[in-house]
């Protein structure tokens, strides 16, 4: 079942195309990820899905409904974790959840019951009555995720859910997101952490300049665009001439040479034999290789 | 956008109003000081201090003359500042509006809730001033209880005007312009501390045509002194009409600011 269907979706700010004709669909129960450099249009695309930004052109259906005409009904069924933590600083952790529940029209008793359950789920029970300013960054993030779950959403939208968190907090959040998926919740997220996307996502798109470059599962994309393994060596004249003499393709990034290879061992062996053993490593290809290959290494913004 | 956005308002606006009420109650100790302290200070300094030099104003003792103005000013300040500085902090620094519109609430719900709350705060202040003024013997009872229901439309008027400034201000500092160039002059020249009747005729027309506080003071003075004239129908009508006008303008300016 399609939870989100977008067809030639466009968003213009003045003459700038932030989202430039993208088509994608998200199926029920999957974790779908938007990747891309800053300014690629990921957040804008997500804002159109959760009905706070109006599309310029194209078709968009969320739960089979048009965000332009049915925003209240769509928003009733989804949860949003914005990029920037925005807990309500005038209230305690617990009140943040119960007051947010009122915006959904959830009756008080039910709201309090859910709030207690969600604080337990996000491991914040002992911070229940704490003022917001006493929370750490990780706790605030968990609170925002708990808040997004207050209406028991069918679709959860997360803009960089683990931004700025320590490894412990990231792992906890990954575990919780997988658990939500196992309960049938659909997740749509963005992230700049490609290992996170690789671990969590069923399917992803890589965007750049408002367009979708590729779409697929992390494993399929890695196989197609980065091969199985990568050999890296210090970029010296000997290495380059050795690779050229063997007619092996390579890329140079700063002081590192990369060779994308099926048979990485034999390439490493060739380099060793030629006496260029300086800093040779063989590693598995990752989503990061795909990402950099497709979007380039130039800094954005 | 039908009917200037009025059709986009739902019961959800009450949840926004309630959030602000909860925050107000949470810090009640500071919030309840002004309505008790302000009238005492003004009455002592102006009513009895300056008042000692003044025989009377058109046969009215000076403290009695300024008492309704003190209530009007309190409604103006509390409503206007709630929907300018406080709303701006919630909108821009706390991102509370962003969190709200990610729920089924519309922007119109959020803004309506803010304006309703600003008016409620003004009404609460007016209500708390009544016993203080009554103890000084400067207002008629029980007619002065009418100050409370009239504080609501008056509060809506000042809140709606405040929201319009909040919607267009480039930053929180720029909110000082309407505070000093609009609110402060109004505070002094709206028949508050001297009768409008001593102004030149054109300025009198200007005051009742364009100054919200002048119209509010005129109604409140009639209430506290139990002296009603046909002019009041005009004043009350003016307050309701202009409140509605700025309410609709505020909704649309905010929509323009927050939706992109």
pLDDT tens profile B97-141 = 999 999 999 999 999 999 999 999 999 999 999 999 999 999 999
Q: Residues B133, B41: contact at Cβ < 8 Å? A: no
Q: Are A88 and B106 an interchain contact pair (Cβ–Cβ within 8 Å)? A: no
Query: Which pTM was predicted?
Result: 0.92
Of A32, A62, A44, A37, nearest to A177 by C-alpha is A32
Cβ distance of A82 and B26 shorter than 8 Å: no
pLDDT, tens only, A255-281: 888 888 777 788 888 887 777 666 788
Residue B259 — pLDDT band, cuts 50, 70, 90? confident
**Residues in chain B closer than 8 A to A90 (CB atoms):** 23, 26, 94
What pLDDT digit, counting tens, does each position of A77-94 carry? 999 999 999 999 999 999
Take residue A88 and report the two structure tokens written for it: 């309500």
Average pLDDT in chain A? 92
Report ipTM for this prediction: 0.91
Secondary structure (3-state) at B60: strand
Q: Does any CB of chain A come closer than 8 Å to the CB of residue B105?
A: yes
Q: For residue B130, give both structure tokens.
A: 């009544």
In percent, the amount of chain A with pLDDT more than 70 equals 98
**Residue A152 in contact with partner chain B when CB distance is under 8 A:** no
**Distance (Å) from the C-alpha of residue A212 to the closest C-alpha of chain B?**
22
Mean pLDDT of chain B: 94
Query: How does residue B236 score in pLDDT terms, banded at 50, 70 and 90?
Result: very high
Q: How far apart are CA A274 and CA A240, in angstroms?
A: 11
Helix (H) or strand (E) holding B258: helix B231-258
Tell whether omega for the bond before B117 is within 30 degrees of 0, i.e. cis: no
pLDDT above 60 for B61: yes
SS3 call for B57: strand
**Residue in the structure block whose two tokens are 């669909």:** A25
Residue of B nearest to A70 (CA): B104
Domains and CATH numbers, chain A: 2-222 (3.40.50.300), 228-284 (3.30.70.790)
Report the C-alpha gap between B191 and B231 in whole angstroms: 14
Asked if pLDDT for residue A203 goes beyond 60, the answer is yes
Span B11-38, pLDDT tens digits:
999 999 999 999 999 988 888 888 888 8
């Amino acid at each position: 079942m399609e939870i989100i269907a977008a067809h030639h979706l466009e968003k213009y700010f003045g003459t700038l195309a932030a989202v430039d004709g993208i088509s994608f669909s998200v199926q029920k129960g999957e974790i779908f990820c938007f990747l891309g450099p800053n300014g690629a249009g990921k957040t804008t695309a997500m804002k159109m899905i959760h009905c706070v930004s109006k599309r310029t052109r194209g078709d968009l259906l969320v739960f089979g409904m048009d965000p332009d005409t049915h925003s209240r009904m769509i928003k009733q069924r989804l949860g949003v974790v914005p990029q920037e933590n925005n807990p309500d600083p005038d209230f305690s952790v617990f009140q943040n959840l119960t007051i947010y529940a009122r915006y959904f029209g959830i009756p008080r008793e039910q709201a309090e019951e859910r709030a207690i359950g969600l604080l337990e789920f996000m491991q914040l029970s002992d911070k229940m009555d704490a003022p917001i300013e006493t929370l750490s960054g990780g706790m605030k993030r968990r609170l925002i995720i708990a808040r997004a779950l207050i209406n028991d959403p069918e679709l959860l939208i997360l803009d960089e859910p683990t931004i700025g968190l320590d490894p412990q907090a990231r792992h906890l959040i990954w575990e919780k997101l997988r658990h939500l998926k196992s309960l049938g919740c659909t997740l749509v997220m963005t992230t700049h952490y490609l290992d996170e996307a690789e671990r969590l996502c069923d399917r992803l798109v890589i965007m750049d300049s408002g367009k979708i470059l590729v779409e697929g599962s992390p494993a399929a994309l890695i196989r197609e665009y980065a091969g199985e393994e990568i050999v890296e060596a210090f970029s010296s004249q000997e290495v380059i001439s050795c690779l050229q003499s063997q007619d092996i393709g390579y890329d140079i990034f700063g002081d590192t040479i990369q060779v994308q290879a099926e048979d990485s061992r034999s390439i490493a062996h060739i380099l060793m034999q030629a006496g260029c053993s300086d800093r040779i490593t063989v590693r598995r290809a990752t989503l990061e290789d795909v990402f950099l290959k497709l979007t380039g290494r130039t800094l954005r913004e | 956008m039908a009917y200037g956005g009025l059709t986009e308002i739902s019961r959800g606006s009450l949840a926004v109003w309630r959030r602000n009420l909860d925050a107000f109650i949470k810090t009640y100790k500071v919030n309840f000081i002004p309505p008790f302290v302000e009238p005492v200070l003004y009455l002592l300094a102006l009513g009895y201090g300056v008042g000692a030099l003044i025989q009377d104003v058109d046969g009215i003792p000076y403290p009695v003359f300024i008492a309704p103005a003190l209530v009007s000013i309190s409604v103006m300040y509390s409503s206007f500042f709630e929907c300018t500085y406080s709303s701006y902090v919630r909108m821009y620094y706390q991102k509370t509006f962003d969190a709200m519109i990610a729920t089924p609430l519309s922007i119109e719900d959020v803004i309506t809730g803010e304006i309703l709350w600003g008016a409620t705060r003004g009404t609460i202040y007016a209500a708390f001033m009544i016993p203080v003024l009554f103890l000084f013997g400067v207002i008629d009872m029980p007619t002065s209880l009418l100050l409370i229901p009239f504080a609501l439309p008056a509060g809506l008027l000042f809140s709606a005007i405040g929201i319009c400034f909040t919607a267009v201000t480039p930053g929180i500092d720029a909110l000082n312009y309407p505070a000093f160039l609009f609110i402060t002059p109004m505070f002094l020249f709206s028949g508050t501390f001297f009768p409008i009747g001593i102004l030149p005729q054109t300025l009198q027309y200007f005051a009742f045509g364009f100054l919200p506080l002048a119209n509010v003071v005129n109604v409140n003075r009639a209430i506290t002194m139990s002296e009603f004239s046909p002019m009041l129908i005009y004043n009350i009508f003016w307050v309701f009409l202009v409140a509605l006008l700025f309410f609709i303008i505020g909704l649309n300016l905010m929509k323009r600011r927050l939706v992109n």
